[in-house]
Amino acid sequence: MTRPHRPHLEPADDLTRAADVDISALLAPLIQQRCESPIVRPSIATDVAKLIDQSYPLGGDSLEQLVAQISDANRQYPRRNTHPGFFGWIAPSGLPSDPLAHAMVSVLNENLGGYWASPVGTTIEKTVIRWLADLVNFPAQSEGIFLSGGSMANMSGIASALAKRFGPEYRKKGLAAFSQSAKPVIICSQAAHFSIRRAAVMLGVGTDNIIPVDTDAEFRMRIDKLEEAIAENSNVVCVAATAGTTNTGAIDPLDDIAQLCATHNIWLHVDAAYGGGGLMSEQLRPRYRGIEKADSVTMDMHKWFYQSLGGSLLLYRDASSARQLFFENSDYLRASEEDTPEQYRFYDLAPELSRRFRALPFYMSLRCYGMETLGRNALHNVQCAEYLAELIRSEDDLELVVAPQLSILCYRFRPDGLDDDSIDHLNTAIRDQIQLEGDYLMSATQVQGRPVLRVCIMNHATRAEHIEGLLASVLRIGREKIQA
């Protein structure tokens, strides 16, 4: 009998060798860039491509070379969400503890499917979920799961609402079986995030079956219009309310919405992807009254909880509908009939099976800095937004379009003697010039069909002087352009 060939790997191909580098020293240039100006520099894709080696990877590049290449490219064409003058999109600022925590996640490299896959990771994730469920004032039996982002969390919450609406047969028969007498609909406000529409697409509900409810003068869902929508539709899957809309930071009247949903036995999902971080502040918490009555809540840690990307928490008041929908058995992942902590499986609550140890950076930062300290920073962001609103009100050339309910506001440079179209062009030019100068950045958006200057303050590094500097730049640029 011929002896089997014994495989051998050449030493040059051995991937177990430790990377002999000083990680702190390598990352220092990137960390130093976090608050440098410009925040963003206009770029052409071909110019950026020249800075990145795109040849076939044959190996041989040192880690020092690779870090230097990427660091140099980002210095030339930055997009610094971490800059204290970044007032643009809802983007993560990150915390000083994050580089170490995320390095630990990579070193541990655990798949957080459940206790059997990661006893320590599961214990830590369940701990963080309990802390955050307490912020929402959810009951002790509530559960949750960390997902890749708010879009996945919103979709999973709405999917669970479908399972609750149509019962155990929904999983086997699908949506078509329950759409014959009346089309299933999702109700949300006109200001809801577009991830609700995408969830409707992916779940087979369809965007035609989203009922957008009008908003009031403060851009919050109108209760009277919600009542009408519920009365006119017999097959309501869920109401998706928002605690901090993307455009204006509005909080829907959650308590009134929850009462309506309870009366009609409708699942209430609250998208607090942006706004959820405000719950860390005892002073801000009353603004969310009613969120504790929701059936599911989305909160992004990589937004106003200041964490680096990425992780979104989906909380369930009662996870039984989620389990009814997502539970699966397989030959290699067969669940025990025992209901013990050692049998706990996160993937019974949402679609993701492979999941990185997302809770670890949140656990470390919350224990390092404390919930109250992070909450005071969130409150400071709101106070900076309110301070900016007062400064705007004091200037004759400025108009406050949307007052801050949280840390977002919208305003316009509106001097006398110009028509609306001229003012529209002027505000767009101001925003573009602010970005070119590099110390501040505001995102483009429209309110009631008109371009505005939108300011989103959710960086722990932002201070009053940055607010003052932004406004001084807006006034200077606006007045220079009028005189030109």
- Domain extent, residue 408, equals 372-483
Write the CATH number for 449.
3.90.1150.170
Residue 337: per-residue pLDDT: 62
Confidence of residue 28 (pLDDT cuts 50, 70, 90): confident
Same domain, 202 and 284: yes
> Which of 345, 369, 393 finishes a domain?
369
Whether 25 shows a pLDDT value over 70: the answer reads yes
Could you tell me which residues come within 8 angstroms of residue 473 by beta carbon, excluding any fewer than 6 positions away? 434, 437, 439, 440
Write the CATH number for 246.
3.40.640.10
pLDDT tens per residue across span 239-286: 999 999 999 999 999 999 999 999 999 999 999 999 999 999 999 999
Whether 50 shows a pLDDT value over 70: the answer reads yes
What CA–CA distance (Å, rounded) separates 250 from 237?
A: 23
Percent of all residues in the chain with a pLDDT value above 90, rounded to a whole number = 80
User: What is this structure's pTM?
Assistant: 0.94
Residue 12: per-residue pLDDT: 83
pLDDT tens per residue across span 96-107: 999 999 999 999
Same domain, 356 and 304: yes
Same domain, 168 and 280: yes
> Which of 369, 402, 436 finishes a domain?
369
Same domain, 295 and 183: yes
Provide the residue count of the chain: 484
Q: What are phi and psi of 60, to 5 degrees?
A: 105, -15
Q: What are phi and psi of 215, to 5 degrees?
A: -110, 160
Question: In the chain, how many domains are there?
Answer: 2
